[in-house]
Structure 1
């Protein structure tokens, strides 16, 4: 996962540099093709004559035509914290105490790689996209979540894990309603994106590191919900913003003791 985060940061830096280059080029074109009228007073006093002088208009005027679009992308990169919500509470109930986790090391990472949408005007568009989303829970206790069990089950271990991570990966498919304000003098603008999201389970994983066993990885579905439903909102200025996501589906299925346990994530979002 560290390699993935580093790759995201490098790709984002490259895309930001490319976008800045294009922005500079566009501003130059706009400056050379537009004029504005400036009123200049010749002399001092109220009776001084005033004349109109044409000067280049340095403001950037962006107008995007309505229409459909489809393509590969690398955007809406989420880097945040994940929180478990147990029947509306941030405190885990007794039957879920084995999932006690380290809040600042329990994270959510995701990004989109393809999108299809329709732009109504320069300010509003709607699109559906596809990408990937990970929830990485850093467990406090020295336990091992068991594979291939009728319900979510764990065992207490006699060894200490320097890392005990319980994670899920999903294919995410959000439907986004996008609004942006007019651009300011720097070409940046305020934007809001919100909508529903569904996720299709790809895999569950337990990753453990200990002196006795070294690094171990175990893959299974671990009763993670196969089709989850939720909603999201992103708010930002320029390329950076904040996001929040809440899933109305339980985190686990076919495991009655975990009914009502859900996932809430929030953090920074880039490139949206």
Structure 2
């Protein structure tokens, strides 16, 4: 997971540098000239650029606009890193049935990013896109327990081991549908973004990872009754290439485990790469 985070941060930084370079290329510039005023337009409908020369001010103004159109391809965008919170039937306090899932709030995290995107831009200020990516939720358990695999319901065992790390995780293929409302570019070539929409997740894997002096590092994989198809909604707001995100899933975190009925997942934090 650390390798994934490192790779993601490097890609996010590279994407930000490329986006800034692209934005800088569309800023207003000045150029001394003695010719009469005229305008030159060129480019495909997808991306039209206009250069206007004003003979009185001797400046060249670069105007960048985008026409409606489809776009698709590989990407690295919407890198989320934040905190995950369990909501037990509307409460942030776990019920007695779920006390074994007590967790360390500041070490329970959500990480995700998109790698594919297909969308349609209606105007420079609004577009819709369907994307695909990956999403991890890591619950850092407080108690010295082991969540057991291959059980009829979510089951745990109390251990006589002091775990240095006891992490209970799920990984999903995420498929969000985004409605992206954007402001006009400012003098720095950046925009304000407000993005919201539904999000569907397909379970890839569940995992228990433990580190202790007695057993060293151990990993156990199973579905652990994590819901195989989750659905919810998300929102993102930001400026330039960074912002905040929040995600809430409407169905339960676990299925076929009646004691965990009503236990849901909410996460929030920072995101990079609109």
What's the CA shift for 1:61?
3.1
SS class of match (1:245)? strand
In the other structure, the counterpart of 1:61 is 63
SS class of match (1:104)? helix
Aligned residues: 255
**What is the TM-score with the length of structure 1 in the denominator?**
0.90
Note the residue ranges of structure 2 that are not aligned, 5 or more in a row: 32-50
What's the CA shift for 1:18?
2.2
The answer to whether 1:105 aligns with 2:123 is: no
In the other structure, the counterpart of 2:133 is 131
What's the CA shift for 1:31?
4.9
**Aligned counterparts of 1:211 and 1:82: Cα–Cα separation in 2:** 28
In the other structure, the counterpart of 2:168 is 166
- After the TM superposition, which residues 228-247 of structure 1 pair with which residues of structure 2 at under 5 Å, given as runs? 228-247=230-249
**Aligned counterparts of 2:98 and 2:212: Cα–Cα separation in 1:** 24
The answer to whether 1:212 aligns with 2:214 is: yes
**Aligned counterparts of 2:154 and 2:10: Cα–Cα separation in 1:** 38
In the other structure, the counterpart of 1:12 is 12
- After the TM superposition, which residues 147-226 of structure 1 pair with which residues of structure 2 at under 5 Å, given as runs? 147-226=149-228
What's the CA shift for 1:25?
3.0
The answer to whether 1:84 aligns with 2:86 is: yes
**What is the TM-score with the length of structure 2 in the denominator?**
0.90
**Aligned counterparts of 1:131 and 1:248: Cα–Cα separation in 2:** 20
**Aligned counterparts of 1:241 and 1:124: Cα–Cα separation in 2:** 18
**Aligned counterparts of 2:84 and 2:96: Cα–Cα separation in 1:** 20
**Aligned counterparts of 1:149 and 1:186: Cα–Cα separation in 2:** 56
SS class of match (2:195)? strand
What's the CA shift for 1:57?
5.1
The answer to whether 1:34 aligns with 2:52 is: yes
**Aligned counterparts of 2:228 and 2:30: Cα–Cα separation in 1:** 53
Deviation string for 1:130-149 (max 9, x for gaps)? 00000000000000000000
The higher radius of gyration belongs to: 1
Deviation string for 1:176-232 (max 9, x for gaps)? 001100111111111111000000000000000000000000000000000000000
Note the residue ranges of structure 1 that are not aligned, 5 or more in a row: 38-52
Kept in 1, the 8 Å contact 2:27–2:188? The answer is: no
**Aligned counterparts of 1:170 and 1:64: Cα–Cα separation in 2:** 34
